Amino acid sequence: MAFVRRKGNLFYLVHNVRRGGKVLQLHLARLGDRARITDEVVREVSKKHPFVELNWRALREHLSTRVDLANPNAPAVQKLVSSLRALNLDLAEIFPPLLRISESPAVSRELLVQLRLLQSTIQVKLDSLAVDAGDSAMRTRLRGLARRRS
């Protein structure tokens, strides 16, 4: 069974193997300062360790539940907010005329593709937050109605 282990400020994907009656940890991949399993990590581990069978979906699901967004002082939340602020500032510095006069049309196209992808990802997240907030507001209203009727 593979799992993610934190060592210092870094995360690693490890797998326990038994050799000669002893359990050894096989380090499959260094995940960096954020425990995230990308497609690149999957390819790299599958290539380096073809005989190790991993449930990638379960590992990704486990990691997605580890981030505690309810605690505003959690390091993961602080880092996420900091990254969003930095991205916002970086994007604010991009001027459309610079995209048009770029030396490389391929760079301009790739930047536009990535910006559109970011826009759609942000919209999906905002929509899911709105639904969650709406559900919460609806539950609150229903509780209030139920109290008035009793």
pLDDT tens digits, one per residue of 23-47: 888 889 888 887 888 889 999 999 9
With a CB cutoff of 8 Å and minimum separation 6, the contacts of 117 are none
> Which pLDDT score is estimated for 47?
92
- Is 118's pLDDT higher than 60? yes
The residue length of the chain stands at: 150
Per-residue confidence band for 7, with pLDDT thresholds at 50, 70 and 90: confident
> Which pLDDT score is estimated for 56?
87
Q: Spell out where the chain has E strands.
A: 2-7, 10-19, 22-32
- Look at 94 and 23; give whichever has higher pLDDT: 23
Q: What CA–CA distance (Å, rounded) separates 121 from 76?
A: 19
Nearest Cα to Cα of residue 38 among 59, 53, 52: 59
- Is 16's pLDDT higher than 80? yes
Lowest-pLDDT choice from 4-8, 115-119, 134-138: 134-138
